[in-house]
């Protein structure tokens, strides 16, 4: 098999792009799920099909089966089969054992009828999200095909393991985050940010409640552990990067402020003491956010977590839940993942995690600031997951990959200092396990901080920025917030769109542009959007340097560009719309959908690579020769997007090295991008 794969890749690499046969793509973006032929539409998620196929191999001897089980357990020792009392479907769990699945319901079958049908097959509904058409069931895997055959069941996914995304290593660098809000006093006041994570410590001075700093205004547990206290440390640090207030808290003279210290934190615990969770808990928490949006003015959700992307975004339960939140007016921000390289440091493409694969989500990669306020030395962190998205659906036995351009942008995420959860009470927190993560060891728990790195840290920086934009102009829709953040981002030199999206977050530019948008949004495509003209230079001055805006907005397989994107109302900025609705593929060509975009907006197909700083996105060099991404298309650096070379069997593969997706792998990446950084301020 390996020899055959090597020969296949060698042949692909030797063939010019112009003669490669490109499989036809799904013709529309949001119609991906609906456009599948009804008689061929899959009802089981791809990874679930693979597990069931393993179950079907009855020809194996008992000895062979035991050896296979042992090998699987060794491979997935960081992916336990039981988390927070939930048994996750895997080859390590016998088919006859009850395990957790997420089903999408089709029709109006009464719950009691569905319960009766499941009971006959040894299953039951453990949780139901009425507004989403989703339910969590517990049933033997051996009965899952019969369950899927029921007319009331549209799709079945395994309840997947979800983990925090942060690679934790020794670091500094909060100054660059603080400098992003220079020139404005906006701090997110009044905006609610829901932090779905391992909990939040409310005693740390950076997060405590005091005059002018609301801190955590509500907490709820979705793990079943009965506590919202952070006994791991990930969630506390994440919440701090978004909302910490060091000035009023008298901690380190304000050196560790978050982007939106005036915002309210809604602490929704979905990860356990090891920062692990299950998809069904996150789906339930997202559903709670939709229901309670008005009560806490939840305008932003931060998801510094993720799971390996298998399902197309059109089927993935996490994506469906995130999309529903987007549709009711909540900006959803997710970490891209930390699978940008293998254990040998080689680049990997195609490692974007779910729910970051969804077009409605703002998917954030990590940038390395090298500890300076200047942006001229900033680069994409080596571990930050690269696109395109490799989630897929199976039609007539053939995988159809989404292949969307992700991440959407990058933000500081390497070597950042913020709040540390307390080590008392017998808790085994990150700093208990890795004392070197603490920049100082004196003082009380309430005065303590820690270093962390990863796209988990970048996501709350963007979530905080979104809160500031919404405070500046509450009328902004999620799609308009996303467009403004991308339009004003700074394209980084020597990085392509699969690495940096539209570029590095620029809060200064985004806030200034948001303030220009009319508070009563237009309703007609092409109508005037702003109350005044765009800045002539379309740039910002940060730390004494001029930072040009990229002036482009990604739309899944290409990007739109031109000033009219911001001077005119675009239909895709409306409530319930996504930017990807602006473009679609017809006969293998990416084009603008009529009525979605105003005149004067141009489209470039494919991704681009930026050769030097200060370059607009439209001036970048087309990456992958402008070809619409398809299976087997070469995308650069000798990497090929093909099964077995990028994503396979829940692992990331690179140059023969396998690294389990859900493992935090402190041994391999304890230092991360071990570059120059700011020292802590004492």
In this structure, are residues 256 and 206 in contact, taking their beta carbons and an 8 Å threshold? yes
Q: Which residues of 378-416 are buried (b: 16+ CB within 10 A; e: fewer)?
A: bbbbbbbbbbbbbbbbbeeeeebbbbbbbbbbbbbbbbb
Residue 290 burial (C-beta neighbours within 10 Å; 0-12, 13-18, 19+): buried
Catalytic residue among 456, 458, 479, 598: 456
In this structure, are residues 223 and 272 in contact, taking their beta carbons and an 8 Å threshold? yes
How many of the other CB atoms lie within 10 Å of CB of 20? 15
Q: Would you give the DSSP letter of residue 109?
A: -
The torsion angles phi and psi of 551, rounded to 5 degrees, stand at: 60, 35
How many of the other CB atoms lie within 10 Å of CB of 651? 18
In this structure, are residues 673 and 410 in contact, taking their beta carbons and an 8 Å threshold? no
Catalytic residue among 47, 76, 157, 197: 197
In this structure, are residues 545 and 373 in contact, taking their beta carbons and an 8 Å threshold? no
Give the tokens for residue 4: 């055959």
Give the tokens for residue 154: 């549209």
Give the tokens for residue 386: 């690269």
Give the tokens for residue 88: 């996750």
Per the annotation, the verdict on 456 as an active-site residue is yes
Per the annotation, the verdict on 234 as an active-site residue is yes
Integer CA distances (angstroms), 323 to 11, 217, 522, 578, in order: 40, 25, 23, 9
Closest CA to 80 of 161, 137, 165: 161
Catalytic residue among 167, 234, 237, 326: 234
Owner of token pair 């793990």: 223
How many of the other CB atoms lie within 10 Å of CB of 2? 8
The torsion angles phi and psi of 117, rounded to 5 degrees, stand at: -65, -40
Q: Would you give the DSSP letter of residue 556?
A: S
CA distance 114 to 128: 12
**What single string gives the DSSP state of each residue in 268-320?**
EE-S-TTSEEEHHHHHHHHHHHHHTHHHHTEEEEEE-EEB---B-TTT-HHHH
**What single string gives the DSSP state of each residue in 331-366?**
EEEEE--S-SB-TTS-B--S-PPBTTTSTTSEEEEE
Residue 159 burial (C-beta neighbours within 10 Å; 0-12, 13-18, 19+): buried
CA distance 652 to 349: 9
Q: Which residues are catalytic?
A: 197, 234, 456
């Amino acid at each position: 098999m390996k020899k055959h794969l090597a020969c296949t890749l060698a042949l692909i690499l030797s063939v010019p792009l112009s003669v490669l046969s490109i499989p036809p793509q799904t013709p529309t973006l949001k119609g991906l799920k609906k456009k599948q032929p009804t008689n061929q539409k899959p009802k089981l998620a791809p990874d679930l099909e693979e597990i069931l196929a393993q179950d079907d191999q009855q020809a194996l001897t008992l000895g062979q089966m035991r050896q296979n089980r042992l090998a699987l357990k060794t491979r997935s020792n960081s992916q336990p089969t039981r988390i927070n009392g939930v048994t996750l479907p895997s080859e390590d769990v016998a088919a006859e054992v009850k395990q957790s699945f997420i089903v999408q319901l089709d029709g109006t079958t009464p719950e009691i009828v569905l319960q009766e049908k499941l009971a006959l097959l040894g299953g039951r509904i453990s949780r139901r999200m009425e507004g989403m058409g989703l339910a969590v069931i517990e049933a033997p895997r051996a009965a899952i095909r019969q369950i899927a055959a029921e007319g009331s069941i549209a799709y079945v996914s395994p309840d997947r393991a979800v983990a925090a995304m942060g690679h934790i290593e020794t670091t500094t660098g909060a100054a660059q985050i603080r400098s992003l809000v220079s020139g404005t006093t906006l701090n997110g006041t009044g905006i609610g940010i829901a932090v779905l994570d391992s909990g939040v410590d409310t005693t740390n001075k950076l997060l405590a409640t005091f005059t002018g700093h609301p801190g955590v205004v509500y907490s709820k547990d979705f793990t079943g552990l009965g506590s919202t206290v952070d006994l791991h440390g990930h969630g506390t640090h994440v919440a701090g990067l978004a909302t910490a207030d060091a000035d009023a808290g008298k901690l380190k003279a304000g050196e560790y402020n978050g982007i939106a210290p005036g915002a309210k934190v809604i602490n929704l615990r979905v990860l356990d003491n090891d920062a692990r969770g299950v998809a069904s808990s996150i789906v339930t928490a997202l559903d709670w956010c939709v229901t309670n949006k008005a009560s806490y003015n939840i305008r932003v959700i931060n998801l510094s977590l993720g799971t390996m992307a298998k399902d197309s975004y059109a089927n993935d339960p996490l994506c469906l839940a995130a999309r529903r939140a987007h549709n009711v007016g909540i900006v959803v921000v997710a970490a891209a993942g930390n699978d940008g390289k293998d254990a040998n440091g080689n680049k990997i493409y195609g490692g974007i995690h779910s729910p970051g694969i969804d077009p409605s989500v703002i998917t954030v990669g990590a940038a390395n600031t090298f500890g300076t306020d200047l942006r001229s030395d900033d680069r994409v962190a080596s571990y930050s997951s690269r696109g395109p998205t490799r989630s897929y659906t199976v039609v007539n036995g053939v995988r159809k990959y989404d292949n969307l351009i992700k991440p959407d942008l990058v933000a500081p995420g390497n070597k950042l200092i913020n709040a540390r959860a307390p080590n008392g009470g017998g808790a085994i927190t990150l700093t208990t396990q890795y004392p070197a993560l603490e920049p100082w060891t004196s003082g009380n728990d309430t005065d303590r901080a820690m270093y962390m790195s990863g796209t988990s840290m970048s996501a709350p920086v963007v979530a905080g920025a979104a809160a500031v934009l919404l405070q500046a102009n509450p009328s902004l829709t999620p799609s308009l917030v996303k467009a403004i953040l991308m339009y004003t981002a700074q394209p980084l030199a020597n990085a392509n769109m699969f690495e940096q999206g539209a570029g590095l977050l620029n809060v200064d530019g985004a806030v200034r542009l948001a303030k220009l948008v009319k508070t009563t949004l237009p309703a007609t495509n092409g109508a005037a959007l702003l109350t005044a003209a765009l800045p002539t230079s379309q740039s910002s001055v940060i730390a004494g340097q001029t930072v040009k805006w990229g002036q482009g907005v990604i739309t899944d397989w290409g990007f739109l560009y031109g000033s009219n994107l911001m001077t005119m109302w675009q239909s895709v900025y409306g409530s319930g719309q996504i930017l990807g609705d602006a473009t679609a593929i017809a006969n293998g060509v990416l084009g603008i959908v009529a009525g979605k975009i105003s005149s004067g907006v141009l489209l470039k197909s494919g991704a681009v690579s930026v050769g030097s700083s200060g370059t607009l996105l439209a001036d970048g060099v087309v990456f992958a020769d402008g070809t619409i991404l398809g299976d087997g298309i070469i995308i650069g650096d000798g990497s090929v997007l093909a099964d077995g070379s990028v994503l396979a069997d829940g692992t990331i593969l690179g140059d023969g090295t396998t690294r389990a997706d859900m493992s935090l792998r402190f041994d391999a990446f304890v230092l991360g991008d071990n570059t120059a950084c700011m020292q802590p301020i004492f």
